[in-house]
A and B are shown apart, each in its own frame.
Chain A
Amino acid sequence: MKFDKPAGTNPIDRMAVVGRPTPRIDGPLKVSGKAPYAYEQQDVPGKPAYGYILGSAVAKGTISAIDTTRAERAPGVLSVVTHRNAGKLGKGRMNTAHLLAGPKVEHYHQAVAVVVAETFEQARAAASLINVDYARESGAFDLAAARAGAKDATGSDAPTSVGDFAGAFASAGVQLDQTYTTPDQSHAMMEPHATIAAWEGDSLTIWTSNQMINWGVKELAATLQMPPEKVRLISPYIGGGFGGKLFLRTDAVMAALSARAVKRPVKVALQRPLIPNNTTHRPATIQRIRIGCGSDGRITAIGHESWSGDLEGGGPEAATQQTKLLYAGANRMTALRLAVLDLPEGNAMRAPGEAPGLMALEVAMDEMAEKLGMDPVAFRVVNDTQVDPEDPSRPFSQRNLVRCLEEGARRFGWNRRKAPGQGREGRWLVGMGVAAAFRNNINGKSGARVRLDRAGGVTVETDMTDIGTGTYTIIAQTAAEMLGVPLAKVTVKLGDSAFPVSAGSGGQWGANSSTSGVYAACVKLRDMVVGKLGFGPGDAQFEGGQVRVGNRVADIADAAKGGELVAEDTMEYGDLAKTFQQSTFGAHFVEAAVDRYTGETRIRRMLAVCAAGRILNPISARSQVIGAMTMGVGGALMEELAVDKRFGFFVNHDLAGYEVPVHMDIPHQDVVFLDEADDKVSPMKAKGVGELGLCGVGAAVANAVYNATGIRVREYPLTLDKYLDRLGEVA
């Protein structure tokens, strides 16, 4: 099915199931420990051996010698796989560095070897018996130092320019020119990257933890240089990803190589201390923002430049993305500049681009509002636009940013906000902050297969994944709505490359794209049902387990009397995303308290108001947003991969060193969804919220801290050491 014109009325609009708060259908399994994650799969052919990965001790260089004899002789060891015996390996299109080092080492903790043994304990012990000699080379590990040599990004990341930015900025009555920095961040999902691999002849099955099944199949096949048809990838439950499991990682490759070497299944989980350096991370940025305004508060010039680094062949952190679209202004420019660094591979982490981009832009907007003497909400409202500011012929499909801001301000009690440094409760300095949330909507081609059995049961199969997003439930809701059956009649099977190819989970496209694919398959199944029942043409109603055309009625199950009905289709998209700018919007409000003695910051209240099209399941959508708000607090206050610029690695590479928010950091959170349905995006009329919820949170926290203290910090995270000496005397 192709979606190439705005959706008319369709069965989803009934919203008898879709849009209703629906507890997760996979919930009882998850809360009772019965949902099997990758490392826990029991239906593996044969008893798996255990693999343990050895990571490189240097960031850049060459393995000059590697001695595995002691490890090979250790008790229980079956094999040691290194670049010397792994056979020729390719590289996935989306991997920048290789997933097995040797002889070249491209980054710290890049996999150098995997030890396979009968038990986990034996594999772990033997891994330390491998001796590796490295010829270490110097590298570039410091973004600030590499900034001068950074180059303009190309392709869709190339610089943009509209009007005369330089001239307009120079002549603007009120100017802001500030630089902000965001650090390297780690996804830190709770389930480590893990895989069980099993070969049967030349066919490989892997049970793994991956957000994008089809990418994973192709990339693993490319790496192992085998036909993708021979690879099956199964990933029914995924313990968090946030972009860290978008791509093929070394656990899958090492498990596959090991299983081939020892001729039996092998399971490998990345040890937690390897994860920050071995896998991908969100790259640090240096961002310069210039805004010029008239005294009326209207933006006349807006410029955003961002510098980031990556390994040779990698890409930039697209932190200027939102600045192209968020605010009006006739004269504008953006530029992404990429430096080559020898730190581990940078790549997507939840809301890549916008998350760090808004951490800077929305603080700049706060600073500009203050310069103008305007309320930060009013300043943003004045600069709203209903068209793409770089191409005014393109309207937004739907844009309710102003309502988000105003509704949020009303609910949050924004009018009680005091001047900077004036809010005081005992030892606490108290302040409020706001930031706009913005994230583009992306639709991905997505397929599904829907089965109707004799008992009227419906089974949906798609290689879509549920990474905590609630996919199982919204897909069941979609099928139940389309086929008029109770939710309990729907079984959803996900995360298996034997199923139709979906859009996968990423870029907050998963919910809308995957349910649209299910919609397409259900439309096909509805036609088959009507045909099987022998009902003539007419407007079929599917409701209450029955099918009605005119005055003819039958149980839906009757259509499958003669055998299961199976329909498969894929939703594809036309040019509506070109005609209309499709984006999601929101406003974040935060109240923060800063200890006037120690500078410790505690978040007291949080509110998000989101405009993201139709909300398919308010329960799981809300969870996506509160979870993103939590991650935003982490990004604002504590998360930073500390770079050792001599050795070239992230020093705090475990969950004790890399601090993410804990229960005590997070207060009760409020989320409001505006009642929307965007008919330009899909038949579901939905967009995404999982990344929107993160976009702007960090800036709202930073702005609240500023409002509390009167101290502006432009380097994230806002740890107390950055402003302690400016907090004022304490006796």
Chain B
Amino acid sequence: MTEGYGAISRRDVLKTGAAGAAIAGSIGPGQAALAQPDPAAPPRAAVGLKVNGQAVRLDLDTRTTLLDALREHVKLTGTKKGCDHGQCGACTVIVNGRRINSCLTLAVMHEGDEVTTIEGLGTPESLHPMQAAFVEHDGYQCGYCTPGQICSAVAVLEEIRAGIPSHVTADVSKPAPMTTVEMRERMSGNICRCGAYSNIAEAMADVAGVKA
């Protein structure tokens, strides 16, 4: 059986572009290939958000993610872009009480939504208890994943209190217990390459009032 690409000829001319212009194009049935780029400006849409309690009205390219809307348009740069593909959690914000990856949602899909970013939790002068616990327990190093960790941590404690089960909940028919193992599992969508996990667990346990 030939395996197509097992061997490559010595001077194999490959024609491609960023998205593999020569090999991309139409994907499959039901998806029309896009015509030549329209010289007109790309489609825009208006959206109204409530960011940290403040009404914000934006007119955006429809392609703008909630993350880029916050960082590049509202100029709230506390929410970080680590991967832009939902693989790191640095962009975590709380929307209508739930934490989400702001990189994987379009801003225009959030009409009327209440968005809480790290800036909305507290300020350097008046820190949220979770922010203060991160400082006290050194739950960070470079600080880049930190806003996402903190937004997630705040939401995780709420999720446990609400009884939402997790992968480590022994009996899913019962409410999940407030333990550091539950916290660790639920925080696993927030990568910290500096490796502050052990300290973050202690900060969260402190805020939750349980033993680390």
**With A32-B119, A73-B37: A23-B190 Cβ-Cβ less than 8 Å:** no
Chain A residues 617-665 with CB under 8 Å of chain B are: 619-620, 622-624, 626-631, 646-647, 654-656, 660-665
Contacts of A624 in B (CB 8 A): 141
Contact A128 B118 (CB under 8 A): no
What is the size, in residues, of chain A's interface with B at 8 Å between Cβ atoms? 91
Residue B195 at the A interface, CB < 8 A?
yes
Q: Does B199 contact A (CB under 8 A)?
A: yes
Q: Is the CB of B8 within 8 A of A190?
A: no
Answer whether residue B157 sits at the interface, using C-beta atoms and an 8 A cutoff.
no
Q: Which of B11, B20, B88, B200 contacts A190 (CB 8 A)?
A: B88
B99: min CB distance to chain A, Å: 14
In this assembly, does A467 line the interface, its C-beta being within 8 Å of a C-beta of chain B? yes
Within the complex, the shortest CB–CB distance from B73 to chain A, in Å, comes to 10
Q: Does B110 contact A (CB under 8 A)?
A: no
A127 to B77, alpha carbons, bound, how many Å?
25
B141:A619 contact, CB within 8 angstroms: no
The distance in angstroms between the C-alpha atoms of A32 and B76, with both chains bound, is: 11
B15 touches A663 (CB 8 A): no
Assembled-state Cα–Cα distance A271/B191 (Å) = 17
A75 touches B82 (CB 8 A): no
With known contacts A31-B134, A190-B193, A26–B143 Cβ distance under 8 A: yes
A27 to B147, CA, bound (A): 12
Is there an interface contact between A626 and B199, defined as CB atoms closer than 8 Å? yes
Q: Answer whether residue A76 sits at the interface, using C-beta atoms and an 8 A cutoff.
A: yes
- How far apart sit A129 and B146, CA to CA, in the bound complex (Å)? 36
Across the interface, which residues of A come within 8 angstroms of B138, CB to CB?
A: 23-24, 27, 619-620, 622-623
Residues of chain B in range 160-200 having any CB-CB distance to chain A below 8 Å: 168, 183-185, 187-200
A30–B198 contact, CB under 8 A? no
A75:B124 contact, CB within 8 angstroms? no
Residues of A with C-beta under 8 A to B42: 75-76, 121-122, 125
- CB <8 Å contact, A190 and B22: no
Residues of A within 8 A of B200 (CB): 663
Tell yes or no: B1 within 8 A of A by CB. Answer: no
Q: Is there an interface contact between B196 and A130, defined as CB atoms closer than 8 Å?
A: no
**Does residue A269 face the partner (Cβ distance < 8 Å to B)?**
yes
Q: In chain B between 47 and 103, which residues have their CB closer than 8 angstroms to a CB of chain A? A: 61, 63-64, 68, 71-72, 75-85, 87-88, 90
Chain A residues contacting B21 (CB-CB under 8 Å) are: 128-131
- A661 proximity list for chain B (CB < 8 A): 195, 197
Contact A669/B198 with A23-B138, A33-B119, A191-B142 known, Cβ cut-off 8 Å:
yes
Instruction: Decide yes or no whether A171 CB sits under 8 A from chain B.
Output: no
- Do B145 and A662 touch across chains, with their CB atoms under 8 A apart? no
Nearest-CB residue, chain A, relative to B142: A468
Contacts of A664 in B (CB 8 A): 168, 184-185, 187-188
Q: Is the interface of B mostly helix, strand, loop or mixed?
A: loop
Does any Cβ of B come within 8 Å of A192's Cβ? yes
Which residue from B20, B68, B84, B196 sits with its C-beta under 8 Å from A627?
B196
Known: A57-B16, A647-B8, A663-B184. A626 touches B195 (CB 8 A): yes
Asked if B35 is at the interface of the complex by the 8 Å CB criterion, the answer is no
**Contact status A666-B88, CB under 8 Å:** no
Residues of A within 8 A of B18 (CB): 54-55, 127-128, 130
Collect the chain B residues with CB atoms within 8 Å of residue A622's CB: 138
B27 at the interface (CB under 8 A from A): no
Min C-beta distance of A184 to chain B, whole Å: 17
Complex Cα gap A351–B68 (Å): 35
List chain A residues, Cβ under 8 A from B185. 663-664
The one of A33, A191, A630, A663 that contacts B76, using a Cβ cutoff of 8 Å: A33
- What is the chain A residue whose CB lies nearest that of B68? A120
Q: Which residues of A contact B31 (CB under 8 A)?
A: none
Which residues of A111-159 have CB atoms within 8 Å of chain B's CB atoms?
Answer: 119-122, 125, 127-138
Q: How far is the CB of A246 from chain B (nearest CB, A)?
A: 15
Chain B min CB distance to A289 (Å):
28
| Pairwise interchain contact B37-A33, C-beta atoms closer than 8 A | no
| Interface contact A128-B17, CB-CB below 8 Å | yes
Q: Is the CB of A34 within 8 A of B78?
A: yes
- Is A578 an interface residue, CB under 8 A from the partner? no
Whether A75 pairs with B87 at a CB distance below 8 angstroms is: no
Whether A629 lies near B87 (C-beta < 8 A) is no
Once the chains are docked, how many angstroms separate the CA of A30 from the CA of B199? Answer: 15
Give the residues in chain A near B81, CB-CB below 8 Å: 39, 192, 269
CB distance from A397 to the nearest CB of B (A): 28
Q: Is the CB of A655 within 8 A of B83?
A: yes
Q: Within 8 Å of chain B (Cβ to Cβ): is A237?
A: yes
Of the candidates B16, B87, B197, the one whose C-beta lies within 8 Å of that of A132 is: B16
Chain B, residues 132-167, CB within 8 Å of chain A (1/0): the string is: 101110101111111100100000000000000000
| B7 close to chain A: CB less than 8 A | yes
Q: In the complex, what residues of A have CB within 8 A of residue B197's CB?
A: 626, 630, 661-663, 665-666
**Any A CB within 8 A of the CB of B41:** yes
- With contacts A128-B18, A190-B142, A668-B212 taken as known, whether A654 is within 8 angstroms of B117 at the C-beta atoms is no
Contact A646 B6 (CB under 8 A): yes
Q: How far is the CA of A61 from the CA of B11 in the complex (A)?
A: 8
Contact A239 B80 (CB under 8 A): yes
Contact B10 A34 (CB under 8 A): no
Within the assembled complex, what's the spacing in Å between the Cα atoms of A40 and B136? 26
A208 is an interface residue with CB less than 8 A from chain B: no
Q: Tell me, in angstroms, the Cα distance from A54 to B18 when the chains sit together.
A: 6
A239 CA to B191 CA, complexed, in Å: 13
Provide the bound-state CA to CA distance between A646 and B5, in Å: 8
Contacts of A620 in B (CB 8 A): 138, 141
Chain A residues lying within 8 Å of B192, measured Cβ to Cβ, are 190, 663
| CB–CB B40/A75 < 8 A | yes
> How far in angstroms is the closest Cβ of chain B from A369?
29
Contact of A238 among B7, B132, B142 (CB under 8 A): B142
Q: Check: A189 CB closer than 8 A to any chain B CB.
A: yes
Cα–Cα distance between A473 and B117 once the two chains are bound (Å):
26
Report the Cα distance A238→B80, complex, angstroms.
13
- For residue B131, which residues in chain A have a CB less than 8 angstroms away from its CB? 28, 31-32
Q: How far is the CA of A119 from the CA of B183 in the complex (A)?
A: 38
| B141, A468: Cβ atoms closer than 8 Å | yes
What are 30 residue pairs bridging A and B, where the CB atoms are less than 8 Å apart in the complex?
A23-B138, A31-B127, A31-B143, A32-B122, A34-B78, A34-B123, A34-B124, A40-B77, A57-B14, A57-B20, A74-B37, A119-B72, A125-B63, A127-B18, A136-B13, A136-B14, A137-B10, A189-B193, A190-B80, A192-B83, A239-B145, A468-B142, A620-B141, A626-B198, A630-B195, A647-B8, A663-B197, A663-B201, A665-B197, A666-B184
The 7 closest A-B pairs by CB, nearest first: A33-B78, A630-B195, A239-B144, A468-B142, A468-B141, A627-B195, A30-B143
Known: A241-B142, A272-B87. 7 other contacts (CB 8 A): A40-B77, A121-B42, A122-B61, A138-B10, A631-B195, A654-B85, A655-B191
